[in-house]
Structures are given as C-alpha cells and as structure tokens.
Amino acid sequence: MFTPRLIPVMLSALLLASCGGAPTESAPPTGDTPPDGVMAQLLKDLNAARGKAQQCGTQRFPAASPVTWNTQLTAAAHAHALDMANRNYFDHVSPEGGLMEQRVEAAGYVNWRELGENIAAGYTASTVMQGWLDSEKHCATLMDPLLREVGISVVETVSPGNKYANYWVQDFGTR
C-alpha cells in the first residue's frame, strides 16, 4: 500500500525514468562509458563464468568468449528493472505484453541477430550471479556463445509493498 508521503517519491521516480533513468547505483552509463562499482564486478564475474565450461542443468557448455558492455542494452535492462520495481511484478513480459525485443529496440539496440535476457529478484550483488548459474535456463543464456554484448542493471525498490527488495536484469545481444 502506498502512503501519501511516497507519492512525491514515486512521481519523481517516474519523471526521472521518462527522462532516461532513475537515480540508482546502476543507472545506465552514457556514451561508451564502461561500468564501475557493482556493475563492473558483475561483468567481471559474468566473463569469469563464461571463461570456463559450465554444467547448466542437463546441458554442458564449453567456455565461451567474454561479452562486452553495451550501454543500449544497459538502458533496456535498466528500464525493465525499473518497470518491474515500480509496478511490483516479476516477469520477462510486461503486464501489457511488452517483450525484450521491443525494449532493446526502444533503447536503440537495433539490427540485432541474437538476444537473451536473465532476470532475478531479491538477490544481493554477491549472490545474483550464482543464482543465474544455478538455474538451467539462465545459465544457458549466460553461456550462449552467440551472445557477445551485455547490459546489466539493478533497481532497489522504494515501496514497502513490493514483494522484492530489488530487481536485476541482464540483457544480452549480438549485432
């Protein structure tokens, strides 16, 4: 339940989101800015995981080449994480039926050949990567050798009514 004092906070978050991002620690960088802080560590952990063979459920994946950071995919990931946090849902598809393909294209990532997405909620920065590796489908996306670029975002919730404290999104692509 929202309290009257949260209305200005939520309106500010929605206004900032419509201007290109909300003030979180993983707000998407602009231009060719590489990630720093938590996102830099997650990219390092992701590439370390890709750098060795992984057992993803019943599938065995050989080592894959590292992915590079992409700011357009990061913007798409951030928009989806923010939307899930603001509207208290957890799904690859928005309540209106919005798909990852639409989100990445809206963020400027066009002419793509391959896409993949991992989402998580409630994890800490130190546990989210292992959570994805422990899930067969998420691990398979993470290890897909056809995916060469990534954007990652986390949004912490501001409403005590949310089911999760944070929402994570990894958007992968290849052009």
> What pLDDT sits at residue 22?
38
Whole-angstrom distance, CA of residue 111 vs CA of residue 109: 7
- The domains found in the chain, sorted by start residue, are 34-174 (3.40.33.10)
Query: Among candidates 102, 124, 1, 39, which has minimal Cα distance to 10?
Result: 1
pLDDT at 19: 36
Strand ranges for the chain from DSSP E? 54-56, 59-61, 68-69, 114-121, 149-156, 166-174
- Alpha-carbon gap, residue 79 to 83, rounded angstroms: 6
List average pLDDT for each run of 10 residues in the chain, which is 175 residues long: 36 36 43 78 97 98 98 98 96 98 98 98 95 98 98 91 95 98
Tell me, what's the pLDDT at 24? 43
